[in-house]
Chains A and B, each alone.
Chain A
C-alpha cells in the first residue's frame, strides 16, 4: 500500500509557518528563562499586564503606530489613485512613472539622511507629522505604481459612457470608477498600511527617538536584550496586519477571484 505523504507534508508546512508566531506569544508570556532551563521559571500574563499598565509605553507606541500607519495608508491610497489617473493621461507618462521608482533606489536610512535637512527646516523633525510625511514619501510612489495598471482605455470608455448618459464627474467616480476599483483600493490600503507599519529606517531618523512607533520599540527591546518585551511588542505588531489580512481575504480576494 502506498503511503499518502501529502497530509503530513502539509501539516509540517503549516506547523513551520505557525511556529514563529506561537513561539512569540509563548515568549511574551515568559520571563526569567535562562539557559539551561527547558521551561521558563515564570509563565503568565505579567508582561501583558505591565504593558497595559503603560509602564513601558508600549501601548502608547501601539496607538501612535496605528495613527501613523492609518494616516499614511489613507493619504497615499487616495492620492496614489487620483494622481495615477493624471499620470496615465499625461503625455510624459513613462518619464513620470520612472520617477516614481526614485525613492526605492536609495536605502531608507540614506534617503532619510538626504531628506533630514528639509525636514529640519520645515520643523518636521522629531514629531509625528514629520514621520507621516516621511513614510508618505515612500508609500505614495508605491500606490502610484500600484494603480497605474488600473487606468486603461476601458476605464476611459466607462467614464465617457457615463458622461454621455448624463453623469457628472462626481457621479462617474461614486457610481462607476470607485466600485470598479474597490478591490484594488482595499489591497493598496492594506499594502501601504504594512509599508508604514513595519517602517524602521526613515522613522528612526526623522523621528529622532521622539516618535516611538512599535517597530522602533521592538528594535529597542532587542538591542536591550529584553526578549520578552520584544516578543510582546511583536505580538502587538502582528495583530493589526492579521486583522487587515482577514478583512482582505473575506471581503476583497473572494470578490476578485
Chain B
C-alpha cells in the first residue's frame, strides 16, 4: 500500500478528536471521506500532512515512516476549502510558487507552469492577480500550485465547499481529469454525499473521530449511517 495510517490518535486537551484511525490507500487512487462538521476530518488531514503531531500511531508513505517528519519534508500538500492564493503574486507566480521553493531551474518552471495553465484551462489568465479571478479560477490556480510540485499525496479539505453548484460540478470533472493526467494519490474530504461518491475510488465515512472505509461503494450505500438510504428514499418519494 502507498499510504498506511496505523492507529492514529489525536486529542486536544481532554477531547479525543481522532480515535484509533487506521486505513490504507493504493497509489494513484482517491479516497473520499464523508463526514459532518466537527467529526475530526480536518484534524485527520492535518495530522497526515504533518501540521499536527499525533498522540500515538504511525503514518507510512511508500513504505517510509513519516510520523515524525516535518511537513516541508513530507511532499504532502494540504489544500484548504479557501483557495489561499498569495495576494501579492499573479496566477503564474502562484502556480510557480512551490517550484521556486524547490529551486527548480527557470526554464523548467516556465515549461511546467505553461503546461499546468493549459491543463487548468487558464490560458490568458497568467498575468491576472488573485482579486481579478473568479472563484472557480482561483480554486483552479490553487490546484495548479499544489499539483505542479508533484506531491506524493494530496490532501483536500472540502476544496469545493465555497463554490456554487455549477462551478462545483465543473471543478469535480476537472479534478478527475487532473488526477488521471498527473497520477495523483489523494484524500478527498467532503460533507457532500454526491461528491463523495463521485470523487472517490474508495469511500470512507467519518463520525465522532472514527473512520470506516468501505471495501466497495455498495457497502457504503447500504450502510444506514452514511445517509445514502435516506437520500434514495427522499428522491424516490418525489416520483
Q: Mark B48-80, 1 if CB is under 8 A from A, else 0.
A: 011100000000000000000011101111101
Are B84 and A166 closer than 8 Å at their CB atoms?
no
Indicate whether B88 reaches chain A with its CB closer than 8 angstroms.
yes
Chain B residues with CB under 8 Å of A165's CB are 72, 77, 97-98, 101, 145-146, 149
Are A157 and B80 closer than 8 Å at their CB atoms?
yes
Indicate whether A56 reaches chain B with its CB closer than 8 angstroms.
no
Are A160 and B78 closer than 8 Å at their CB atoms?
yes
Are A164 and B101 closer than 8 Å at their CB atoms?
no
Q: Mark B68-106, 1 if CB is under 8 A from A, else 0.
A: 001110111110101010111000000001101110000
Chain B residues with CB under 8 Å of A208's CB are none
Interface footprint category on B: 20 to 34
Q: Which of A161, A167, A175 touches B84 (beta carbons < 8 Å)?
A: A161
Are A161 and B78 closer than 8 Å at their CB atoms?
yes
Are B102 and A166 closer than 8 Å at their CB atoms?
yes
Q: Which of B71, B82, B87 touches A164 (beta carbons < 8 Å)?
A: B71
Count residues on chain A whose CB falls below 8 Å from chain B CBs: 17
Are A167 and B82 closer than 8 Å at their CB atoms?
no
Q: How far apart are the CA atoms of A167 and B75 in the complex, in Å?
A: 11
Q: Given the known A-B contacts A157-B80, A157-B82, A161-B78, are A166 and B98 also in contact in the complex, defined by CB atoms under 8 Å?
A: yes
Q: Given the known A-B contacts A157-B80, A157-B82, A171-B101, are A164 and B72 also in contact in the complex, defined by CB atoms under 8 Å?
A: yes
Q: How far apart are the CA atoms of A179 and B85 in the complex, in Å?
A: 13
B86 CB to closest chain A CB, in angstroms?
6
Are B88 and A164 closer than 8 Å at their CB atoms?
no
Residues of chain A from 112 to 133 with CB closer than 8 A to chain B in the complex = none
Indicate whether A15 reaches chain B with its CB closer than 8 angstroms.
no
Chain A residues with CB under 8 Å of B70's CB are 163
Indicate whether A226 reaches chain B with its CB closer than 8 angstroms.
no
Q: How far apart are the CA atoms of A21 and B74 in the complex, in Å?
A: 61
Are A180 and B74 closer than 8 Å at their CB atoms?
no
Pairs A-B, 7 closest by C-beta atoms: A165-B98, A163-B71, A179-B88, A164-B78, A167-B101, A166-B101, A164-B77
Residues in chain B within 8 A of chain A (CB atoms)? 46, 49-51, 70-72, 74-78, 80, 82, 84, 86-88, 97-98, 100-102, 145-146, 149, 155
